[in-house]
Chains A and B, each alone.
Chain A
């Protein structure tokens, strides 16, 4: 085989490898990209049901509920405009605390009594020294802006107290 023919073959092989790699990457990508939504987006219906995504916000003060002695627990995530109840069964990370930012990964359940519930597979509370994941900070800022706009339109301020929760029923995992 002439050197030129050999070089052509190598180039072809390398192109094949690269093409294969790109095809591989695109497939693996599509299956593994996790989208991020805040509670307002979820309430507005932008988040898919039945598909894993990430939900972020602040853990609402007083919303952590747990039957003593059991792993199953729930808490509310809020962006100070809307809240979502999150159900989780497992060990919580050290940095998880009421009144601090958190991101959960899991799926949205079909609404029960008109209330959205989110089943979390993983609770992430990694963040920098400012105790706020950047995505959550951005969502809070967005929600704050939206509230300010509505406030100038309405005369009464928008209330955002925590919803009272009924006792947690059996969790659907």
Chain B
């Protein structure tokens, strides 16, 4: 019964979304206060019904209701309760419901926390969000209903894919969705601003915290996915330039550029077109990602097996969203003029380069991701674009960007007075170069241009980020959260770069055969294959190996890699044995039983690999600190700002 209630709630939510869209947009354009109030009520109503629907689905999982087709396809009585909840978003239909729920939570938040912006503006934002959530609700109801019944009910479910039975992976979709679905808010704000024909610093100041929160969760979500792939997929890889990974990374690049562009619009009323277009393309890439994952055009461990009609629906939806927004932009662009200028060496110019380089990187990744699909659609053959393409194409814009970051952080608005900064920055560069030489030659003993430049870039960004907080603290000043957040986030970037460059330059991966009692040396560590034995888990059986690792005779650790076979889905799964340490990870993964007590094994030495995810977490913390800045919490005492920004006097007065 509750399953049908859930279904009904979903349909109600769809109607409320349409109401929200209509009353929001029409109410704002015709200035009817009660219509705009209706839009705000509609969004709360949508929240209630979508959460209720989600709750009904979760309840069906928890009580093992195998008369629901989706539950039967993704759960099992042997599945631990925690994973039965996570299984709600384990496949296509349920994950779309999660998508919708996250969107509706964001919309409700906009409906509640909107101090400082005019009622008309918020109404328009809610209207646009209503269109998006209405489209998704329709998609779910029409093509991907999670509440479909299976009659007669199955006696037992097919079980959740064992790869997904993991805490990190349970958290990965909610975090990721909070991130890139959250980009719908700046998108809706951009569209609302275009409808109003007005974009000012106040708008930018209001939109920025929403963008930072979405960006923050997206950073954590991507990092979580990468970390999970590293330890769970068993083979030590942390990024594969898989099309679905790219689909989450491109919105991240756009969101990063958007945050920086919003700074410029907030402080100086410039870069309005950049900001609007970045907001539009950021969310468009999120929608594109959703299309790629669910339409069946992609071959990936992520790709859900879907039918083409779903793909077609999303594609049309995508075309409507992007097409509509861009048409609106083309129509309204003349209104978004600004007359302020800036010197060629100024914060604005650094941020312009930042935007250009990030957009170039995202476009090249998009090209590599979509090219095989185009070729296949035109029946010109089946090709794939290998990871080396992405690595090269990403590195070339990013290396100059990293060097510019170190300087741009300290540039002032309008005209940077870098003469005062020259000495500290040169010292930082020198120290970074010394560090790079030490790492490449003394510690690891192998040097190349790329290895050196990578270490240099990472160290440079870290040192440059520390400069402002340290000088301010030494002068006895407080560091405002806005500046501290920026420095911490860039510090995180530097840590990330150090991690990536060290691990990719100096990792060691060896496939070998090991028999009982044999020892092999990899990267100055001795791996002794002691024995193998059978073990049993809650819903699996496994062969577990004992591997003793020593270094110069001293025991470092004992690892227990496993080869598991889950009871329901009988495909084998590798659990790597990992010795984690901030300096290096040691991994042992079991391959195949080669007979005669010998196993094929992959042994890996990964220096500084944990810095990759540490860097991402530090970036997210930096974003969070930046949110605490007081300027986002001040209530606007003055009446709504109706000054057109093409008035240079007011721009100069505000900057």
Contacts and interface: CB of A to CB of B under 8 A. Distances in A.
A and B found bound together = yes
Interface string A1-21: 101001001100010011001
A109 B352 CA distance: 51
A28 B305 contact: no
Given A71-B513, A71-B600, A126-B299, A32 B385 contact: yes
Contacts of A129: 161, 305
A91 B389 contact: no
Given A17-B360, A24-B396, A32 B389 contact: yes
A127 B513 contact: no
B647 interface: no
Contacts of B234: 94
B312 interface: no
Nearest to A94: B572
A155 interface: no
A35 B388 CA distance: 15
B646 interface: no
A94 B602 CA distance: 13
A43 interface: no
B375 to A, nearest CB: 9
B386 A32 contact: yes
A117 to B, nearest CB: 20
A103 B386 CA distance: 14
Contacts of A97: 571
A37 to B, nearest CB: 9
Contact of B301 (A6, A14, A33, A126): A126
Interface string B340-382: 0100100000001000110010011001100100000000011
Nearest to A21: B360
B157 to A, nearest CB: 14
Interface residues of B: mostly helix, strand, loop or mixed? mixed
Nearest to B301: A126
Nearest to B340: A3
A36 B382 contact: yes
A145 to B, nearest CB: 15
A34 interface: yes
A69 B386 contact: no
Interface string B268-288: 000000000000000000000
B591 A91 contact: yes
Given A69-B594, A91-B602, A94-B573, A24 B393 contact: yes
For this complex, into which size category does the number of interface residues on chain A fall? 35 or more
Interface in B586-613: 589, 591-592, 594-596, 598, 600-602
A17 B356 contact: yes
Contacts of B381: 35-36
A71 B511 contact: yes
A54 B382 CA distance: 10
A89 interface: yes
Interface in A36-68: 36, 54, 66, 68
B515 interface: yes
Given A18-B360, A126-B300, A138-B382, A29 B389 contact: yes
B384 A21 contact: no
B571 A128 contact: no
Interface in A72-105: 89-92, 94-95, 97
B304 interface: yes
Contacts of A68: 594-596, 598
A128 B598 contact: no
A157 interface: no
Most buried by A among B382, B383, B515: B382
A33 B571 contact: no
A128 B303 contact: yes
Interface in A111-156: 126-130, 133-135, 138
A134 B243 CA distance: 15
A140 B23 CA distance: 53
B305 A130 contact: yes
A24 B572 contact: no
A138 B301 CA distance: 19
B392 interface: yes
Contact of A34 (B384, B511, B598): B384
B628 interface: no
B372 to A, nearest CB: 9
A70 interface: yes
Contacts of A135: 299, 382
A34 B386 CA distance: 7
A10 B304 CA distance: 44
Contact of B388 (A17, A28, A128): A28
B596 A69 contact: yes
Interface in B283-309: 296, 299-301, 303-305
B512 interface: yes
B415 to A, nearest CB: 12
Interface of A: 1, 3, 6, 9-10, 14, 17-18, 21, 24-25, 28-29, 31-36, 54, 66, 68-71, 89-92, 94-95, 97, 126-130, 133-135, 138
Given A35-B382, A68-B598, 12 more contacts: A31-B388, A32-B392, A34-B384, A34-B385, A35-B381, A36-B383, A36-B384, A70-B594, A71-B511, A91-B589, A91-B600, A135-B299
20 contacts: A10-B352, A17-B357, A28-B388, A28-B392, A32-B388, A32-B389, A33-B385, A34-B385, A34-B386, A69-B515, A69-B595, A69-B596, A71-B512, A71-B600, A91-B601, A94-B574, A95-B571, A126-B300, A128-B304, A134-B296
